[in-house]
Amino acid sequence: MAPFFVYVGLFLLLPTAIIVAGSFAATDGTFTLSNLTAINQAYMITSFVNSLTISVASALVGAIAGALLAYAVATGNPRGAIRRIVTSASGVLAQFGGVTLAFAFIATLGTVGFVTVFLKDHGFDIFANGVWLYKLTGLTLIYTYFQIPLMVLVFLPALDGIRPQWREATESLGGNTWHYWRYVAGPLLAPSFLGCTLLLFANAFSAYATAAALITQGGIIIPLEIQSLFTSDTGQSQPGLAKALALAMIVIVTIVMTLYTLLQRRTSRWLK
């Protein structure tokens, strides 16, 4: 147990403590609440709304598409090639976020990306109404590229817990497909599905590198806003406010992860 607590202490509790302390410290080290009240500015709130929007959107898209894919895999041959390919590909792609993913999009769908140029040469300009790739739409699209594989990985065990016998039991008792999903599989899978969606939300909410590599100007989401507050060359450097923003993010993620844990507990009662 001791090594575990040392590890958690060094890499989780200590950084959190530094952020909490920094949120309440003025530049001269005295206690202040001004960092927290400074969050209440129109552009900060916009960034928070943007961050929440992109996290909710990419989590929903990721959860639904990922769940369908996972269901297809779960109902297939458990030792088949498809299952092995999909799970190992998901394992890799779920970690594919960051600079590599951003670059992949810049090279294909960027303003001079080859897909963009190819379509343009054939009379179709995907950026006719502006370069949406660098906006929330683009970020949401890119985030689904690591959200869907993550959903497959975390949702597959729940689907595997559903036994074929339950379906047979439903049918022998006179139920149809609708009854099976409404009264058996649906209630069993719902907590897990919601929990996984929350996990995806937290995953997108805290993602930084992909957005930072793609959008090098302006801070449309909170992690980018924090970055500019730390490294500004133009006299806008406000480490205290950056830490206060980080604290606000920690609070949101803590709430989400608590709900996730509660839902997981409920799921594990049935699906062992």
Partner 1 sequence: MKWSSLTRRLGLAVVAFVLVAACGGTSSSATATCNPSTATSVTDCGGLDALIAAAKKEGKLNIMATPPDWANYGTIINAFQTKYGIKITSANPNGASQDEIDAVKNLAGTGSAPDTLDIGLKYALANTALLAPYKVATWSDIPAPQKEATGLWWYSYGGFMGIGYDPSKVPGGTINSLADLLGSGFKSKVALSGDPLKSNQAVNGVLMASLANGGSVDDVSKGVDFFSKLNKAGNYVPVVGTPATVKSGQTSVLFEWDYLSSSHGKDVQGWKIFEPSNAILGSYYTQAINKDAPHPAAARLWEEYLFSDEGQNYWLKGGARPVRQAAMEKSGKLDAAAAAALPKVSGTPVFPTADQQTAAGTYISANWAKAVG
Hey, is 33 helix, strand or coil? coil
Extract long-range pairs of 103-106: CB within 8 Å, 24+ residues apart.
Answer: 103/213, 105/133, 105/138, 105/142, 105/214, 106/214
Q: How far is the CB of 135 from partner 1 (least distance, A)?
A: 8
Among 12, 14, 17, 131, binds partner 1 (CB under 8 A): 131
- Beta-bridged to residue 25, according to DSSP, are 31
Q: How far is the CB of 257 from partner 1 (least distance, A)?
A: 28
Number of residues located near partner 1, criterion CB under 8 A = 32
Q: How far is the CB of 23 from partner 1 (least distance, A)?
A: 19
**Closer of 121 and 125 to partner 1 (Cβ):** 125
Among 66, 97, 191, 219, binds partner 1 (CB under 8 A): 219
Q: How far is the CB of 263 from partner 1 (least distance, A)?
A: 33
Q: From 115, 96, 118, 58, select the one nearest 213 (Cα to Cα).
A: 96
Site string (151-190) toward partner 1, x via CB under 8 A: ----------------------------------------
Among 37, 236, 258, 261, binds partner 1 (CB under 8 A): 236
**Closer of 16 and 53 to partner 1 (Cβ):** 53
**Within a 13 Å sphere around the CA of 41, how many CA atoms are in the beta-carbon half?**
12
Site string (33-52) toward partner 1, x via CB under 8 A: --------xxx--xx--x--
Nearest-angstrom CA–CA distance, 208 and 206 = 6
Among 3, 234, 269, 272, binds partner 1 (CB under 8 A): 234
Residue with tokens 């036994």: 163
Q: Is 231 in the site for partner 1 (CB under 8 A)?
A: yes
Helices 222-231 and 239-270: angle between axes, nearest 10 degrees: 150
DSSP 90-151: HHHHTT-TTHHHHHHHHHHHSTT-HHHHHHHHTT--TTTT--GGGSHHHHHHHHHHHHHHHH
Q: Is 268 in the site for partner 1 (CB under 8 A)?
A: no
Residues that bind partner 1 (CB under 8 A): 41-43, 46-47, 50, 106, 110-112, 125, 127-131, 134-135, 215-220, 228, 231-237
